Structure 1
Amino acid sequence: MNDDQPEEWFRHSSSTVWGLLSIGGAVAVIVIDAVTGWHPETTAGGLLFALVAYAAFIRTKVGVSEGDFVLYHLYSTVRFPLAALESVSVGRTLGAYSGGRTHVSGAVGRPMREAVKGGKRDHKPLSNQSDFIEDRLNSLAQDARERRGIKRDSDEQFALAEDVRRSWDWPLIAITAVVAVAFVVLLVI
């Protein structure tokens, strides 16, 4: 762990807005259903939709925390030392390369029309969010390697890449599973 590493988080600029709109829509459906004649399957479906919207839009993000590169996925979190990060590239999704492995996250990506252009597009980190995030994460990884005195593509860097840790968000998984089972049971009966 490296306490002097700044903490920074990145995601699509519209993710939080879409997440809140989705959750708000689910809550509105539940409230309207409760006012007009309550149906338990509608409540369960609305709750399931809100939980998945939270996991997909609000929980997912990538960033740097306590000297680690961190990827928050729908139901899990992947962490490894920032100095182990070889490179980051952003296409339709973010690809982080470390120790011969690619860690992918949908928290950051390019629109389809921009991703299709590939190498033909202009790299504009000052006006393009995806270019900025790509450059910033690559810069933070380079700074972390320099602080530790590790050369890029060295044995030390590859050894650091072995320290990949995945943790699961068991409470969110359990709540989602219970609501999904309740929803299916209520639809069947």
Structure 2
Amino acid sequence: MNDDQPEEWFRNSSSTVWGLLSMGAALAVIVIDAVTGWHPETTAAGLLFALVAYAAFIRTRVGVSKGDFVLHHLFSTVRFPMAALESVSVGRTLGAYAGGRTYVSGAVGRPLREAVKKKRDHKPLSNHADFIEERLNSLAQDARDRRRIKKDSDEQFALAEDVRRSWDWPLIAATAAVAVTFVVLLVL
């Protein structure tokens, strides 16, 4: 069911920067290698590093789209109705709870020091992770209210059974091809 829920995406603010820096470093290694005497295994390693950096830092995110809660992981996407989301908690990683299961994403998280400190002294909305946690919990409550579903009800648990996982086959194929090429070049 497509709710009138706004589309909203969240990611750790530093992940994009780290992803671009990592991919830039891989590109720099490839260019320097090409200029100083090309080694195919270095090019393959640089491409593999860039693909993994893209998957880990750029592709991973959490959000709401077309009435669904969406978790983009390295090579897959998990989605289920937003009204099925029981709660969201952000520690070192984001934990989303629905239908008795926990869905984890590293796209949003707190630094170790902050995650430990939060347990001792909780100040709501003191930073970006708090905002994301509060916002997703609020959006889940809004979705339940629109559908007139009570939290922890049988209807909510039934919605949680509509979990869909899709795989990013082009990215998987490209990463696998480059990884195999890299290993073959190292062995030869």
Normalising by the smaller structure, the TM-score range is: over 0.9
1:70 Cα deviation after fit: 0.1
Unpaired runs of 5+ residues, structure 1, are: none
Corresponding residue of 2:184: 185
Residues of 2 paired with 1:124 and 1:86: CA distance? 19
Structure-to-structure mapping, 1:18-33, within 5 angstroms: 18-33=18-33
1:66 aligns with 2:66: yes
1:135 aligns with 2:163: no
Moved more, 145-154 or 112-121: 112-121
Q: Is this contact kept in 2: 1:114–1:121, CA < 8 A?
A: no
Corresponding residue of 2:103: 103
Corresponding residue of 1:158: 157
What value does the CA root-mean-square deviation take over the aligned residues? 0.9
Identity %: 84
Q: Is this contact kept in 2: 1:63–1:70, CA < 8 A?
A: yes
Moved more, 4-13 or 53-62: 4-13
1:2 Cα deviation after fit: 2.2
Normalised by the length of structure 2, the TM-score is 0.98
Q: Is this contact kept in 2: 1:12–1:108, CA < 8 A?
A: yes
Q: Is this contact kept in 2: 1:75–1:172, CA < 8 A?
A: yes
Residues of 2 paired with 1:147 and 1:123: CA distance? 29
SS at match of 2:184: helix
Structure-to-structure mapping, 1:17-96, within 5 angstroms: 17-96=17-96
Q: Which amino acid aligns with 1:116?
A: V
Residues of 1 paired with 2:33 and 2:64: CA distance? 42
Structure 1 ranges of 4+ moved more than 4 A: none
1:3 Cα deviation after fit: 4.6
SS at match of 1:158: helix
Unpaired runs of 5+ residues, structure 2, are: none
Residues of 1 paired with 2:182 and 2:137: CA distance? 44
Residues of 2 paired with 1:161 and 1:133: CA distance? 21
Residues of 2 paired with 1:114 and 1:53: CA distance? 25
SS at match of 2:13: coil
Q: Which amino acid aligns with 2:89?
A: S
Corresponding residue of 1:176: 175
Corresponding residue of 1:2: 2
